């Protein structure tokens, strides 16, 4: 298993690719210029074309074409990346109309899952031991699509579905939603943690989500 869902990893790999390219350009440029144009002994000034004098505004040093180049080229890259990041929003934010609805109620410092009248095969809640503490175990079926309707009774919490790479705050007085369809690749149990700071036992506010075939 690996933390983060498929959408995350596709985007992440693409971003890494461009990050490496940008970083290589910056580093090569930095090392080349800082070594090529250096003073040989730290005292001699080989090229003092701008000879600074205190209180005198120095000669201009610019080149509009170069400045425009590194305004426009990064802008194009940004537009491309934005376009790529735009795509998966539909999948993240729009739910299947026939999704099974599961209620999630957060409280300090517990998760409460409500399967409603769903079949035990589709959704079932029991208990599991996490480092000596009894925590809820939510069992779901791979290939089924789920909609989590979430709220909180006291302060803000946020369930982090580690294996799927999604999270959303549960806000008191508000119903927030998360939608996901676990695939057959995601069969197995993974930890669910709270990722919005909520007080003393925040770090131990866990649950386990199991996806079965």
Partner 1 sequence: MFSTLKKPQNIGIIAILLLAVVMAPSVTSYPHGASGVQDSGCACHGSQADGVTPVLDGLPNELTPSMTYTLNISFTGGPSGEDPNAAALGGFHLWVSEGSLSPIDGDDKVKINPDGSATHNGIDGEDVGTGNDQTSWQVEWTAPAEGGAKFTLHVNSVNGDGIASDLDDWNRLNAEVGPQPVEQASGLTVFASSILLMITIVGGCVVWVFYRENPDSFSWDYFVPWLSDWLTTTDHKKVGTLYFLSGFFFLGVGGLFALIFRIQLATPGNDFLTQDEYNQFFTMHGTTMIFLAAMPMIAGFANWIVPLQIGAHDLALPRMNALAFWLNPAAALLIFTGIFSGQGADVGWTGYAPYIVSHTAHSGATLWVAGQILLVASSTIAGINFMTTFCTMRAPGMGWMQMPLFSWSILVATLMLFISIPAFGIGLIQVLLDRTIGTVFYEVAAGGDPLLWSHLFWYFGHPEVYVVVLPAFGVISEVLSTSARRTVFGYKSMVFALAGIGVLGFIVYGHHMFTSGMSPVLRFVTMLTTMLVAVPTGIKIFNWLQTMHGGSLVYRTHTLWALGFLVTFTLGGISGMYFPAVAMDLHLHETYFVVAHFHYVFVGGIIFGLYSGIYYWYPKATGRMLNEKLGVMHFMVGFISYNLVFWPMHRLGIQGMPRRQHTYFITTDQYFALPAEAADWNMMITIAAFFFAASNLILVYNIVVSALRGQKAPNDPWGGWSMEWLTTSPPPTPSHDPHNLPVLQFEEEHDDGDPGLFGRWIQWMMIAEDGGEEE
Binders of partner 1 among residues 67 to 106 (CB under 8 A) are: 67, 70-71, 74-75, 78, 81-82, 84-85, 88-89, 91-93
148 binds partner 1 (CB under 8 A): no
The least distance separating partner 1 from the CB of residue 117, rounded to whole angstroms, comes to 27
The least distance separating partner 1 from the CB of residue 115, rounded to whole angstroms, comes to 19
Q: Which residues ranging from 40 to 69 are in contact with partner 1 (CB under 8 A)?
A: 42-63, 66-67
The least distance separating partner 1 from the CB of residue 107, rounded to whole angstroms, comes to 11
Phi-psi region of 201 (alpha: psi -120 to 50; beta: other; left: phi over 0): alpha
Tokens of 142: 């791979």
147 binds partner 1 (CB under 8 A): no
Pick the binder of partner 1 from 30, 112, 116, 185 (CB under 8 A): 30
Please say whether the beta carbons of 151 and 171 come within 8 A: yes
Q: For residue 155, what are the β-bridge partners?
A: none
Q: Rounded to whole angstroms, how far apart are CA atoms 173 and 154?
A: 9
CA distances from 190 to 137, 144, 150, 160 (A): 10, 17, 19, 10
In which residue are the tokens 């201009």 written? 60
Which segment (35-43, 95-103, 114-122, 138-146) binds partner 1 by CB under 8 A? 35-43
Tokens of 145: 């699509």
17 binds partner 1 (CB under 8 A): no
């Amino acid at each position: 298993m690996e933390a983060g869902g498929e959408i995350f990893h596709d985007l992440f790999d693409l971003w890494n690719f461009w990050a490496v390219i940008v970083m290589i350009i910056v580093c090569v440029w930095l090392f080349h210029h800082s070594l090529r144009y250096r003073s040989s002994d730290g005292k001699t000034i080989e090229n003092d074309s701008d000879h600074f004098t205190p209180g005198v505004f120095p000669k201009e040093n610019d080149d509009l074409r170069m400045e425009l180049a590194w305004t426009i080229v990064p802008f194009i890259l940004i537009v491309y990346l934005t376009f790529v990041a735009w795509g998966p929003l539909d999948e993240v934010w729009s739910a299947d109309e026939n999704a099974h609805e599961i209620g999630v109620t957060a409280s300090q410092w517990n998760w409460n899952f409500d399967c409603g009248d769903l079949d035990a095969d589709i959704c079932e809640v029991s208990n599991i031991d996490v480092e000596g503490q009894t925590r809820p175990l939510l069992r779901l079926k791979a290939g089924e699509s789920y909609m989590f309707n979430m709220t909180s009774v006291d302060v803000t919490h946020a369930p982090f579905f580690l294996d799927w790479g999604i999270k959303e705050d549960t806000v008191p007085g508000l119903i927030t939603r998360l939608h996901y369809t676990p695939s057959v690749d995601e069969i197995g149990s993974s930890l669910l943690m709270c990722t919005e700071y909520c007080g003393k036992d925040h770090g131990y506010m866990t649950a386990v989500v199991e996806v079965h075939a």
